[in-house]
Amino acid sequence: MEQYDIVVIGSGPAGATTARFASAQGLKVLMLDKHQELGAPVQCSGAVSSHALEDNEVPISDEFVEEVIYGFQIYNEDGDSSRIDYRELKPDLYGAGPGKKALGYVVFRRRFDRYLMTLAEKAGSSIMLKAEAIGFEKQNGDAIVHIKYFNEDIHVRTKVIVGADGLQSQVGKWAGMKTHINFNELASCLQFVVDGIAADGLLEIITGHEWAPGGYAWVFPKGHGYAEIGLGVICSMTPHNAQWHLDHFIKNSFFKERFRNARILEVQGGGVPLSHPLKTQYADNLILVGDAARHVNPITGGGIHTALNAGKIAGNYLAEFIQSGKPATAENLSVQQDRWMAAMGKKMWELYEIKSGIFKTANIPSRNAALYKTMTEYFSPGSPFKKI
C-alpha cells in the first residue's frame, strides 16, 4: 500500500494551498479530487483581494484573472450609494498605470483552481482527479483512506487526512465532527453571467431586505465586457427562492434600466456559509480547512482569501508536525486550530458577532441601515478588517 505523510481531499483553494506548502517543505503529499475538472460547476463569483494572493504566494497570472478591481460601490435599498474607489482615495498606490497596483481581482474559478493545483504539483504533490475519497479507518496510529479512482478501489496509508472538501464536506462527518450548518446561516446564492452591462473596475454591493433578505446582491465586472449579477438570500427570511429574488432585483430594482439589455450567458449557484467557523476543526488523523471548516468571511461571504490562508497555515503546520514524529492524535493536531485562531479565527468570530447583530435586528429599516453602514465601513480604507 502506498504511504503518504498527508492526504488532502479536495483540490480547491484550501486543499491545493495546503498541499503546496506541505510539499514545498518535503512532505510526501497526495491530493485527491473527485471531479474531472476543478472549479466546475462554478459556485462562486470569484472576487479576491490582491493581498490574499500576495500573502499566500500565488503569482498573478492572466491564466485566471478575468478583471482587475480597484474598489467598491455600496448601495442601500433605494439606490443611494457610497463609492469607495481606491484609484481616487489612494491615487499614488492604486490604478492601471506603471508602478501602481490592483486592489483585487475577479478570477475565473475553473482556471484559478487548476492554476493552484499546478502550483501544488510543481511543489511536489501527487494529484489524482476522478478520485473520490469514500471513507477511512484507523490502523496503528495511521489512517487508511479508501478511494474510488475511476472504476478502481484503492487504499492509501497516511498520517493525516486534510478535509478540504468544501461546503458539502463529508470528511468531517466521517469523524463524527459537528459540521452541521443552521438553516438561517447558509445563504442560497444564484448568479447570472451577462453581457451588455457597463462596469468600471468596482465590485458593486447592493444591500436591502427588499432585494436580498439576509444577504446582499452584487454586480461584479467579469472581463470581456461581461458582468456577474447575483445575490444570496437566507431562506428563513423569505417565502421566495433565490431565483425569484434575482428576477425581482433585475426587473424591479433601481438598476432595471441598466439591466434591460443584459443577456444571460451562464447560470451559476452555490451556498455560502455565513456562520461562525467550526468550533472543532480537528480529530484523530484529521484536520479540516476552507469551506469544510466554515472558513468563510460571514460579512462578505468571501471564502477564497480565508481558504488560501488556512491552507498556508495548515501546510506549514503539518510539515512541522510530521517532522516532529508525534502521533496524529486529535490533541496533538489541535495546534493547527490554535494557529489558525490566532492568525484569522479571532477576527472571523468578531465578524460573525457583527453580522449576527445586524440580522437579529427585527425592524427592517433599522436592519437595512445597519447592513449598509457596516458594508460601507468594511470596505473603507480605515476598516480594521481589511486583511480578512
Q: Alpha-carbon distance 85 to 241, whole Å?
A: 33
Residue 173 or 251: the one with the smaller Cβ distance to other proteins is: 173
Residue 274 Cβ vs other proteins, minimum distance, rounded to whole Å = 12
Considering only 25, 118, 126, 170, the residue that binds other proteins (CB under 8 A) is 170
Considering only 168, 252, 366, 383, the residue that binds other proteins (CB under 8 A) is 168
Residue 249 or 372: the one with the smaller Cβ distance to other proteins is: 249
Residue 179 or 336: the one with the smaller Cβ distance to other proteins is: 179
Stretch that binds other proteins, among 151-159, 216-224, 262-270, 371-379 (CB under 8 A): 262-270
* Per-residue cell: 324: 516532529
User: For residue 340, how far is the Cα from the chain centroid?
Assistant: 16
Within residues 187-206, the interface with other proteins by CB under 8 A covers: 188-190
Stretch that binds other proteins, among 146-154, 195-203, 267-275, 327-335 (CB under 8 A): 267-275
Amino acid letter, 102: A
Stretch that binds other proteins, among 59-67, 121-129, 151-159, 185-193 (CB under 8 A): 185-193
Residue 268 Cβ vs other proteins, minimum distance, rounded to whole Å = 7
Backbone conformation region of residue 290, classed left if phi is above 0, alpha if psi is from -120 to 50, else beta: left
Peptide bond into 41 cis (omega under 30): yes
Short-list 110, 155, 111, 115, CA closest to 131: 155
Residue 180 Cβ vs other proteins, minimum distance, rounded to whole Å = 6
Residue 186 Cβ vs other proteins, minimum distance, rounded to whole Å = 5
The DSSP code sequence of 331-376 is: HHHHHHHHHHIIIIIHHHHHHHHHHHHHHH--SHHHHHHHHHHHHH
Stretch that binds other proteins, among 73-81, 96-104, 268-276, 368-376 (CB under 8 A): 268-276
Cβ-in-10-Å burial (0-12, 13-18, 19+) of 139 comes to exposed
Q: According to the binding rule CB under 8 A, does residue 41 interact with other proteins?
A: yes
Stretch that binds other proteins, among 88-96, 109-117, 175-183, 248-256 (CB under 8 A): 175-183
Short-list 9, 19, 7, CA closest to 116: 19
Q: Alpha-carbon distance 181 to 97, whole Å?
A: 44
Q: How many residues sit close enough to other proteins to count as binding (CB under 8 A)? A: 24
Cβ-in-10-Å burial (0-12, 13-18, 19+) of 96 comes to exposed
Interface residues toward other proteins, by CB under 8 A: 41, 43, 166-168, 170, 173, 180-181, 183, 186, 188-190, 235, 241-243, 267-271, 273
